[in-house]
Amino acid sequence: MITDYSDIIERVLIDEDSLHKKIKQLAQTINTYYADKGTLILVGILKGSVMFMSELAKELKVDLMMDFMIVSSYAENTYSSGNVKILKDLDIDIKDKEVLIVEDIIDTGYTLKKTKENLINRQANDVKIVTLLDKPERREVEIKSDWSGFKIPNEFVVGFGLDYNQMYRNLPYIGVVKRSVYENIED
């Protein structure tokens, strides 16, 4: 059984404690914003947002419902295609509702731009975005998250919900993946 990720992880970028503190701060801001706005619909983008969404939801003190979408933009590699497809849609009708999209990371911006447009077209009252991580250097389309946890450099990260080929989502921290892992080269 592997418990040592030193072959995969170059370094820890954001430790467990910093993640928990930041999520609490984000929740406070979000609580204040939605305090008098009626039932909130949290829309988690699977699978990467799962850990962030569950931590955040526990800290939210407003009436809310949770739903999930699967939106594909990445294949089995680390690059965005610009094509975004809905693979699993919402169960809840969001017409006239306050919607908060919960995403793990905003990178090129395609996923969130398309997803937000799609939800606005369903006549939600308002659609906002919270992301745990943001890689501003990589942005290709104009889209901003309303709230975000950490700005990070242009490096491929895993952990706390984020994967590499579906692995490492369970790491309790955000770690930078060694380039040799996804470029298939020797260190």
**Which are the catalytic amino acids?**
107
What residues contact residue 57 under an 8 Å CB cut-off, 6+ apart?
42, 64, 66
Nearer to ligand 5GP, 34 or 116 (CB): 116
CA distances in angstroms from 66 to 102, 110, 120, 129, 161, listed in the order given = 10, 23, 17, 14, 17
- Please state, in angstroms and as integers, the Cα–Cα distance from residue 51 to each residue in 5, 17, 72, 96, 134, following that order: 19, 14, 19, 27, 16
Closest separation between CB of residue 36 and ligand 5GP, Å? 31
User: Quick one: DSSP state of residue 138?
Assistant: G
Least separation in angstroms between residue 183's CB and ligand 5GP is 14
In order of 1, 24, 47, 127, 131, the CA distances from 167 in angstroms are 14, 26, 11, 31, 21
Kindly state the smallest distance separating residue 106's Cβ from ligand 5GP, in Å: 5
Helical ranges in the chain per DSSP H? 16-34, 50-59, 110-120, 179-183
What is the residue type of 146? D
Shortest distance, position 163 Cβ to ligand 5GP, whole Å: 5
- Is the CB of 62 or the CB of 139 nearer to ligand 5GP? 139
* Closer by beta carbon to ligand 5GP, 34 or else 145: 145
Rounded CA-CA distance 102/114 in Å is 14
State the residues that interact with ligand 5GP by CB under 6 A: 48, 73-74, 80, 103-111, 156-158, 162-164
